[in-house]
Structure 1
Amino acid sequence: MAEHSRVLVVSYIFAPVGGVATERCRKFVKYLRDFGWDPLILTQDLDETLRIRPVEIDHSTLDELPSDLEISRVYGPVFSAPVTARPSVATTPPIGGSLSSTPPLRWLRSLGSLLLSPDSFVAWIFPALLRGRRLIRERDCRVIFATAPAFTAFPLAALLSVVGRRPLVLDYRDPWGENGALFGDRRWKQRLNRLMERLCLRRSSRVVFATEGFRDLYARRHPDLAERFEVIQNGFDREPVAAKKPRGEREPLRIGYAGKMFGDQYPMEPFFRALASFVEERGRDLLRVEMAGQIDPENEALLAELGLGDVVELRGFQPREEVEQLQERSDVLLLVIGDMHPFFHGLESAKLFEYMPLARPILGLVPEGGAAWQLISRHQIGPLAPPSDVVRIRRVLDELVGRSASGPAVAPRQFHRRNLTGRLAGILDEVSRP
């Protein structure tokens, strides 16, 4: 058998960190050897990752990877802005203004935010650059592949491409400079990040986007580079699961969800209010919702306020095996993507593809007409409602309870992770040719 070529994979976080942030990269790594590429991982020190942010650790994520996979973990300090983070838009400042609005502190916050570009992990670049350069030389890596967010991985990978004289492939799970949600009203910071991003894009040989919407967004911003842009969507790699047996006449409809339950991207309040409306009018015995993952105190308090404690079961973070069992005992699988920011309309969500082989209808509370909405509609895999429209969500709940749940008979095979990795390997083959 021919010797594999090596690719240096740059990802700020990696297994055993679980969740959607590491899923895409981890699945590429799982299958790359099938196509003649041997991945080496360059990532942040795990202890530092655990220190600076609450992450989901799932050691089972390592079990599916090659036992001899080389993971190079490099410590890089993480800095925060010199004052507390900006309050959410729902926060009302105290009468007479707040300390954070005084000019000296506002300027200090602005300077700190400027220095922490593209993000608070930027100090990782220097030690990771030294390690990465050595790996390229000693392990003869032919290509550099970087995935983000965290977007610090992109300038690091661009620098490695320059010093190591290797082609660069960038993988966008989410937009960077075009993501207004990252910058709020700090237009100057967005301009700086767009400049950094432009330099990274120019250095790249290929750029991969997780959705067509993201690719189109960047093609409009960078028309001179659009020929480099490719789309490799998210996918699944579990075997199709048999459709769930029809529930009994007296059994409640079970809705399952595993993921984040906070922030603009995962707005749960409209769903909870629609659920409360349903329960008030039709009783408490027709629906049960089982949810695993992180939830913020506000949403947890809302559930108590709405009296849904016996209808919604919160299970906290669960390992992958437990999440799969939750999904398989559900009649319907919930997908939530917010619609507050324009770029959310381009999201398809890795969770959507994860649901496909389960043969359950997907309740899609996603931006109307957006990428996820179109995908669910095209493949006829579930009912849809805008995530902020309580009335329409309530209407969909009525429809689901009133009919027998059935999902797609066969998950579309083009979304299997192995097939998607084959496409990535083809790109690596192309850019590595002399």
Structure 2
Amino acid sequence: MLKYFSDKGFNPIVITIDHEKYLPDRTDKTLCEKLPPNAEVIRTPIERTNLLTRLIDTGYLFLTDSISFRWKKFLTKSLDDAVAKYKPRFILVTLPPFSIMKLVHSYGRKKGIPVILDLRDPLTYWVSSPFPSRLHYNYLRKMERNCIESSFKTLVVTPGMKEIYSKIYPGLKDKFEVVMNSFDDYQKISKTRKSNSKFTIGYFGSFYYNPYSEELKRKKWWQKKPYQYFQYTPYDQDWKYRSPYYFFQTMNELFFQFPRYRDKTEVFFAGNKPEWFDNMVDEFALRDVVKHIGFVGKEEAVRLHENYDAFLITSARFKEYNDYCIAGKTYDYLSFQKPIIGFVTKGDQQWVIEKSGLGLVFNPDNAVESVQKLKEIIDKPEKFVKPEIEFLNQLKTEKQLDKLGSVVKTLFNL
């Protein structure tokens, strides 16, 4: 984004936390090396976590997270300095963290600077765990609506997300613009798969699934701890479908029906390993097939993408609306033009896999059908690589940033 705006004659100023100092284990330094040489990046301190901020992070104090509480004085000072020095024409704030939504919205209104909200996830429609109470939910809903209404535009990352927000806030539907995640260009594959080698499947990133949270959403109030009595779940969302549970179930059944495939298949997961992961692997007797390699940087991830024969994608199941998510890793997968194994529900994730011509969609609730599909993709992966280049080209970074550029041009009446 920085390079794009610089090339278009803008002078973008970025204000962010000094991640190398405060989050060294979660910082990929190789990405910083790709910044334009003239990029103005202001890296600020942030207060360390303590007992109070950990309490804020529970959500019970009407904040979604403690970032705003810990960062406010540093962010406000940096904004003041940037406004005085550069006189910005607009502020674009990327969310989450959702706690800074109101902070930046109020700052922009106070200074008379238009604000563009960049919603990577929805605030009040994301229900991977219960809200502390209906009162908390209504407070966040009102805050979300006010910020969207006051924004110049609110960017969302999928067509489904725009559709859902337009139904939740029908009077604000003209505020929403879709600017999807993207990939820079197609990757050149330097390795070819040997016919006698194992078929390797890769997964990168997180799952956003927590068994305890899922259990809380389905418990009656009297079955919970006293401080949880008033918890509120506004939508029926099952994030177990986002986990590899149904994929593991299918693999287990595949190996039961066709034992020889156990020696032909390997699955690798990269990212921060959740506590429940090993138990789920053991539940389906897959310890000899499934490996978790932990967090990897961007360069290592690219190397691993080259090595794997296919990629796994999953999605949550929503009752009220179709799935609105397209996992960010999807775009990396598409750039390699290898088959995607999509254990997904109806919605945008399914749509992008089918439209891309790369991979196969599996019904998580139909293990019999899924076994046959998985067997077929292991035997003949090339059958499922028929890239729809015209569609894929629309997902390139330049195309998506052109959409963002169009939003900015309307702000300046260009």
Scaled by the length of structure 2, what TM-score is found? 0.82
Q: Taking structure 1 as reference, are residues 183 and 374 closer, same or farther at Cα in structure 2, changes over 3 Å only?
A: same
Cα displacement (A) at 1:236: 0.4
In structure 1, give the amino acid aligned to 2:110: V
Identity %: 23
CA contact (8 A) 2:95 2:120 kept: yes
Q: In 2, are the aligned partners of 1:78 and 1:121 still within 8 Å (CA)?
A: no
8 Å contact from structure 1 (residues 213, 346) kept in 2: yes
- The total of aligned residue pairs comes to 378
Corresponding residue for 1:104?
none
In the TM superposition, 1:8-407 aligns within 5 A as 28-46=1-19, 49-50=22-23, 56-77=26-47, 113-123=59-69, 124-181=71-128, 183-184=130-131, 186-242=133-189, 245=192, 247-248=194-195, 250-261=196-207, 263=209, 264=239, 266-282=242-258, 283=260, 284-304=262-282, 306-339=284-317, 345-367=323-345, 369-387=346-364, 390-405=367-382, 406-407=384-385
Q: 1:83 to 1:217 in 2, by over 3 A?
A: same
Contact 2:186 2:335 in 1 (8 A): yes
How far residue 146 of structure 1 moved from its aligned partner, in angstroms, is 0.7
Aligned counterparts of 2:68 and 2:370: Cα–Cα separation in 1: 41
Which AA in structure 1 matches 2:313? L
Partners of 1:426 and 1:392 lie apart in 2 by: 44
* Residue 404 of structure 2 is aligned to residue 424 of structure 1: yes
Q: 1:238 to 1:276 in 2, by over 3 A?
A: same
3-state SS in 2 of match to 1:213? helix
Q: What secondary structure is seen at the aligned counterpart in 1 of 2:78?
A: helix
Offset, 1:356? 1.3
Contact 1:364-1:376 at 8 Å conserved across structures: yes
- Long gaps (5+) in structure 1: 1-27, 86-108
CA–CA separation in structure 2 for the residues paired with 1:325 and 1:46? 24
The superposition leaves residues 339-370 of structure 1 with CA deviations (integer Å, 9 ceiling, x where unpaired) of: 26757711112221221121211111111x21
Is the contact made by 1:294 and 1:317 (CA closer than 8 Å) also made in structure 2? Answer: yes
Check the 8 A contact 1:44/1:74 in 2, yes or no: yes
C-alpha separation in 2, matches of 1:84 and 1:120: 8
Residue type of the alignment partner of 1:209 = V
Q: Distance in 2 between matches of 1:62 and 1:350?
A: 19
How far apart are the structure 2 equivalents of 1:308 and 1:377? Answer: 29
Give the Cα separation in 2 of the matches to 1:43 and 1:344: 33
TM value normalised by structure 1:
0.78
- Could you tell me which amino acid in structure 2 is paired with residue 235 of structure 1? S
Give the C-alpha shift of residue 313 in structure 1. Answer: 2.5
Q: Which moved more, 1:332-341 or 1:312-321?
A: 332-341
Q: Conserved in 2, the CA contact under 8 Å of 1:346 and 1:371?
A: yes
Q: 1:219 to 1:427 in 2, by over 3 A?
A: same
C-alpha deviation, 1:424, in angstroms: 1.0
Q: Distance between the aligned counterparts of 2:364 and 2:272, measured in 1?
A: 19
Per-residue deviation, 1:390:
4.3
Displacement of 1:163 = 2.5
Q: Compared with structure 1, are the counterparts of its residues 228 and 403 closer, same or farther at alpha carbon in structure 2 (3 Å cutoff)?
A: same
**Over the residues paired in the alignment, what is the CA RMSD in angstroms?**
2.9
* Residues 414 and 243 of structure 1, relative CA distance in 2, 3 Å threshold: farther
Give the partner amino acid of 1:309. Answer: R
Q: Distance in 2 between matches of 1:341 and 1:185?
A: 21
Q: Secondary structure at the match of 1:315?
A: strand
Q: Distance in 1 between matches of 2:287 and 2:14?
A: 43
- Per-residue CA distance 1:300-358 (angstroms, 9 max, x = gap): 23324544333223211111111111111222111122226757711112221221121
Structure 1 81/230 Cα, relative in aligned 2: closer, same or farther at 3 Å? farther
Shift of 1:174: 0.7
In structure 2, relative to structure 1, the CA distance for the partners of 1:361 and 1:157 (3 Å cut) is same
Structure 1 residue 188: Cα displacement? 1.4
